Structure 1
C-alpha cells in the first residue's frame, strides 16, 4: 500500500491537493481526521466546539447582528444556512470533506493544466467560493435527517445529568459565572453552571446538578452537603 502512495503515479494527486484552492480544504480535512482519531481514543468529546444558536426569528440580515457578539453572529449564519441541530464538529467535518471533493475535482479538470502563478490564483478563487458554497449546501442536506437523533440524545443526556456530581473547573462558580466538568467515562462533559445568589464555589469543589434551564442552557448546582440535606 505504501509503495502505491509513494509511486510517481500519485504525483498528480499530491499536486492537486497541495495546490490552490484545494490545499485550504486539505488542511481542514487533515485537522478533522486528526480530531476524530483523538476523539475515538476518548481524549475529547464530540461536542467540544459546540455553542448556543441564538434565537432569531425570520430571515437574518445585517440589522440582526448589530447587538450580537462575534460567536452569536457566526451561530446566526449557521442557523440561516441550516447548519444546526448536530455537533459543530460534524458540520465542520462534512464541510471540509465535501468542499475538498468539489475543489479537488474542479481543480483537476479545470485548472490543473495551468502553470502555478497569478492566473491560476485568479481562476482558483471562483472554485474556492463555489466549493465552499456547495459544501455548505450539501452539508445542510446531509445533517437534516440527523437532527432528530441528536435531539433525542441531548434530551436523554440532560435527564442523566440531573442529580449527578460534577467538579468545578473554572476559577470560581457563582450566580453569574461558572463551569463544571462531569465525568461520563470519556473526555467528560463541560457544563455551564450557576449557583444560588450569595453562594460561591472554587476550582475543584464537588457540586451536584439539580436542574437545567432550557432557555439559557444553564445548570443549577448546589454543594454535595446541601444536596444530601434536601
Structure 2
C-alpha cells in the first residue's frame, strides 16, 4: 500500500491522479443531484452518422476522435482513468527504479504520451454507452403538448399523479398535475409543460378540454380557422 501511494502521489502519475480525483468527486455530486450530469444536453450525436465534422470547437474535436455524443465530464473521467492507469504501471515497473533525474525526463514523455492509448480505449468503451444514451434521450417537450393520455395512478391532482401517453412506440409514462382531481382511467390532454416541476399540466379530454386546447395551442387554432 505504501508503494501504491508513493507512485500515485509522485510525478508523472500525480497530475492524472488529481484529474481522476476531480472527475470522481464530480460524478459523486452528480449522483446526489448536486450538479448537472449533462446527459440531457448531449443531443444524442452518433459520430458514425457522419455529422461529427460539422460541430465547432471542443464538441467537433471530441466527435472526430469518437468521443462525442456523451457528457464531456464522462469523457474526461474515462480519459483520465486510462491515462492514469498507463502512467501508473509505467511509473511502477519502469520509472521507479531509475535515478531521479532520469525518472523526471522519461516521466515527462510518459505524461505527454499517456493520452494516446487512452483515446482509443475511451472511444471503444463509449460506444455502448452512447447507444444507451440515444435510447434514453428525452422526447422534445413541446412535441407532446396536445397529446391525449390516460390517468394511470389512482388519482391526479395538483401535487401528484402520472399518466400514460401513446407516442407511437412503447408509450410514455409522464408525471402530470391537474387543477381538478382526476381518477384512474380518465382520458386527459397535455396542455402545458411545467419545467420547474418536471411534469405536465393536464385537463380532461372532454368538450371543455378540447375547447381549451383549440384556444391555447397555436397549431389547433390555425387548423380551425
1:158 is paired with a residue of what secondary structure? coil
Q: TM-score, normalised by structure 2?
A: 0.58
Preserved contact between residue 42 and residue 69 of structure 2 (Cα < 8 Å): no
Deviations 1:67-101 (A, max 9, x none): x9xxx322221111100122222211111111111
Task: Please name the residue that 1:165 is paired with.
Answer: 194
Relative contact order, higher structure (CA 8 A, sep 6+): 1
> Hey, what's the Cα distance between the residues in 2 that align with 1:87 and 1:35?
12
For the pair shown, the structure with the greater C-alpha radius of gyration is 2
- 1:31: how far off? 0.6
Looking at structure 2, the residues matched to 103 and 83 of structure 1 have their Cα atoms a distance apart, in angstroms, of 21
Equivalent residue, structure 1, for 2:17: 26
**Structure 2 counterparts to residues 73-152 of structure 1, below 5 A:** 73-117=57-101, 119-152=102-135
TM-score, normalized by length of structure 1?
0.56
Distance 1:153-1:122 versus aligned 2 partners, 3 A rule: same
Post-superposition Cα deviations, 1:14-41, rounded to whole Å, max 9, x if no partner, equal 1211122211110011111111211121
Quote the offset at 1:159 in angstroms. Answer: 4.1
Paired residues in the alignment total 156
Q: Given the superposition, is the C-alpha separation of residues 99 and 183 from structure 1 closer, same or farther in structure 2, using an over 3 Å criterion? A: farther
The CA deviation string for residues 134-178 of structure 1, in whole angstroms up to 9 with x for no partner, is: 111100001112222111111xx1245754223xxxxxxxxxxxx
In 2, distance between residues paired with 1:130 and 1:24? 13
Deviations for 1:33-81, whole angstroms, at most 9, x for unmatched residues?
A: 111211121112321795677x996996xxx9xxx9xxx3222211111
1:229 is aligned, of 194, 204, 216, to: 216
- Which runs of at least 4 in structure 1 moved beyond 2 Å after TM superposition? 48-53, 55-60, 114-117, 158-163, 182-185, 227-230
**1:46-61 correspondence runs (5 A):** 46-47=37-38
The two structures, once aligned, show a CA RMSD in angstroms of 3.5
